[in-house]
Amino acid sequence: MRYIKTPAAPQSVELSRIILGSTHFGTKIPDDEVFRIIDRFADFGGTAIDTARVYGDWQNTGNAASERVVGQWLKNSGKRNRFTLITKGAHYRLATPFTSRVKPECIIEDIELSLKNLGFPIDLYLLHRDDPTVPVEEIMPVLDRYVKAGDIRAIGASNWTHERIDEANNFAGENGFARFVASEIQWSLAHIDSEALPKMLGVGVKGVNAGECEKYMNSDIPLLAFTSITWGYFSKLLNGQQSLHHEELSTPENLRRAEIVRKWSEKTGASATAISVAYIASHPQINAAACVGASNGEQVADFMAAADLVLPQEFFDEIES
């Protein structure tokens, strides 16, 4: 397994290049299967797990099932010190997607609930959504207090533009506050049009477009890519099956990329899923880790085959030509 380190602010956080996602833990995926998935992930050398206040709170009851079950596994396994714990907050309520919760009181509410559900301090805390109308001057001091108190080691942003992250970090640097050290954003081998992205993943979701891509190439902030295997699109397509959002994803560009994936799968013996993950985890120009979910333990072995897979420059040249 290869690893990635965030910049130090005030201390760096180490992440495995493959991060285990947990969206449906404790809801669609029952606790006992969740424990098997995380056990399997740990067996393959994975050390980072990503959850969120909103995961498993589909009925807006305040019961964040994913955080609860992740915290329970960490407690039962005795492996808390081996794992990097990532969670997120300030996501809108699902019943009111156009009502922003990127405000100090909501951030505080979510952090307190996350700490209670997880039962441990948080290694990397990400704001799950952004609201550009809220000044960074109102946001960064709140997060900084939790960092200085030791409840959070480091902070970052999810679904923020690089421009807003720079704005927040400039303010933080000028005032001695903790800076954002990671950006979680949608990025994958399959290209998703920016207009289609919110329809697939929800209001406020941001993806890496061409301009953003160049900024990440020149940034010390690592990119944590979610929906990194795009619902298994390439794997299913090459096996004659259809993934979720198959029609939207089957653009001429993605069909072109599928043939490249087919060729390199035959050449390397790696699965389409492993190649999709390695595209992110071994990208030669962007310092990134892939967030990948699983619904059972068997799927973990497939994507963790990319843990030490480094694709050659020739592959990237073909994909990005």
User: Which positions are catalytic?
Assistant: 55
Contact status, residue 306 vs residue 270, Cβ threshold 8 Å:
yes
How far is residue 309 from each of residues 32, 42, 321, measured CA to CA in Å?
30, 18, 22
* Helix, strand, or coil (residue 50): strand
- What span, in angstroms and rounded, lies between the C-alpha atoms of 141 and 121? 19
- What span, in angstroms and rounded, lies between the C-alpha atoms of 7 and 205? 24
Phi, psi of 86 (to 5 degrees): -115, 130
Which is nearest to 65 in space by CA: 75, 52, 78? 52
Which is nearest to 189 in space by CA: 274, 313, 310, 287? 274
Who contacts 247 (Cβ-Cβ below 8 Å, separation ≥6)? none
Which is nearest to 127 in space by CA: 200, 192, 64, 206? 206
| C-alpha atoms less than 13 angstroms from C-alpha of 247 in its C-beta half-sphere | 0
Strands 18-21 and 288-292: parallel
- What span, in angstroms and rounded, lies between the C-alpha atoms of 167 and 31? 40
* Helix, strand, or coil (residue 184): strand
Strands 14-16 and 3-5: antiparallel
DSSP state of 231: G
Would you call the peptide bond into 104 cis, given omega within 30 degrees of 0 as the criterion? no
